[in-house]
Chains A and B, each alone.
Chain A
Amino acid sequence: MNRDLSLLIGILVALLAVLLLGVFHSTLALDPGQRLASLALERLPESGVSNPVTAVLLNYRAYDTLLELAVLLAALLGIWSLGPARPGFQPAGPALAAMVDWVVPLAILTGGYLLWVGGHAPGGAFQAGALLGAAGVILRLAGNAGAGLPSEAWQRWLIVLGAGVFSLIGLLLALTGYGFLSYPPGQAKWLILLIETAATIAIGVTLAAAYVGGRPQMAQPPRSPLAPMADPEAKR
């Protein structure tokens, strides 16, 4: 890009930044008034978990999290619709392979720990899911082209698991008269843990599949019966 134009854009952006800083400064001087924080912390004992962030994510604002799982699913479907996965990397050497044998189970174990601890300390479904996804990334980097994921049919079930279990529980609660995703008192903890477990698996599989970067290709490449439209030219 031409130099004068980028300088002009720089000046304009700097002006915008000064404006935003001014607004932020005057906002800080205002009286904050009633904040959601006090309400959220006050009702914490009823929420079933003692980590306030998990309470907000899976109890007070469970809708947000449900929609976020849907966004994650949509992003992966978009990636899969763009074509087959790229070929994997070359197999790891003995030193790296031995390290991977240690690190992957350790990552999965840590993920399970973070999932459980999320109820009362920092942690939760997202961090645990990210660790599962990272285990998949490590496996792919070490030469496993499919990132350790199961067959495509299984992957499809696993990636909808999060949003599916979440909305199923919400619907069951609505049918039994509690309202969509408002938990009956006393059972919130187990329902949250169930949803979080499903969400962790879904997030982990989705992130690993996103790193693979395309429709999974297993033993038999492109001519799968699921994609008959893929290459009409092949018969010619």
Chain B
Amino acid sequence: MNLILLIFDAVLLITLLALAAAAILSSEPRRAVMLFIAFGLWLSLVWARLSAPDVALAEAAIGAGIGGALMLAAARRAARRQATSSEEPS
């Protein structure tokens, strides 16, 4: 019983760290932001497991939701700028 719980915890945490590493290492802005949103949602799952439902709700709504939407808009602009600057180098 305890061992199963430990394995469950380990899987949760390894996925969390892998999502964080993937978000950090991807150089394409939109992909990085989407991985960051996935990371935030996974983090809120982990916090629900740690019996912090209030904080999990807030992280899912504010951290991943609004923060992700803000960054996604910025990533869209960055991607568009990259496209125009590669067309005509100033």
Chain A residues near B62: list those with CB within 8 A: 126-127, 130, 133, 207
Please name the residue on chain B nearest to A89 by beta carbon: B73
Give how many A residues have a beta carbon under 8 Å from the other chain's beta carbons.
19
* CA gap between A168 and B62 in the complex, in Å: 27
Answer yes or no: A84 CB below 8 A from chain B CBs: no
Answer yes or no: B13 CB below 8 A from chain A CBs: no
Answer yes or no: A131 CB below 8 A from chain B CBs: yes
Establish whether residues B66 and A134, one from each chain, have CB atoms under 8 Å apart when the complex forms.
yes
* CA gap between A51 and B53 in the complex, in Å: 11
Give how many B residues have a beta carbon under 8 Å from the other chain's beta carbons.
13
* CA gap between A210 and B62 in the complex, in Å: 12
Which residues in window 37-90 of B have CB below 8 A to A? 53-58, 61-62, 65-66, 69-70, 73
Please name the residue on chain A nearest to B52 by beta carbon: A53
- Taking chain B's interface residues, is the majority helix, strand, or loop, or is none over half, making it mixed? helix
Establish whether residues B65 and A124, one from each chain, have CB atoms under 8 Å apart when the complex forms.
no
Greatest chain B CB density within 10 A among A122, A124, A141 is at A122
* CA gap between A171 and B61 in the complex, in Å: 32
Establish whether residues A130 and B54, one from each chain, have CB atoms under 8 Å apart when the complex forms.
no
Greatest chain A CB density within 10 A among B55, B56, B66 is at B66
Establish whether residues B65 and A134, one from each chain, have CB atoms under 8 Å apart when the complex forms.
yes
Chain B residues near A213: list those with CB within 8 A: 73
Q: Please tell me which one of the listed residues A122, A123, A124, A211 contacts residue B69 in the complex, with CB atoms under 8 A apart.
A: A211
* CA gap between A133 and B67 in the complex, in Å: 11
Q: Which residues of B contact A (CB under 8 A)?
A: 53-58, 61-62, 65-66, 69-70, 73
Q: Which residues of A contact B (CB under 8 A)?
A: 51, 53-54, 114, 122-124, 126-127, 130-131, 133-134, 137, 141, 207, 210-211, 213
Given contacts A123-B57, A130-B65, A207-B62, 15 further A-B contacts (CB under 8 A): A54-B54, A122-B53, A124-B54, A126-B62, A127-B57, A127-B58, A127-B61, A127-B62, A130-B66, A134-B61, A137-B65, A137-B66, A137-B69, A211-B70, A211-B73
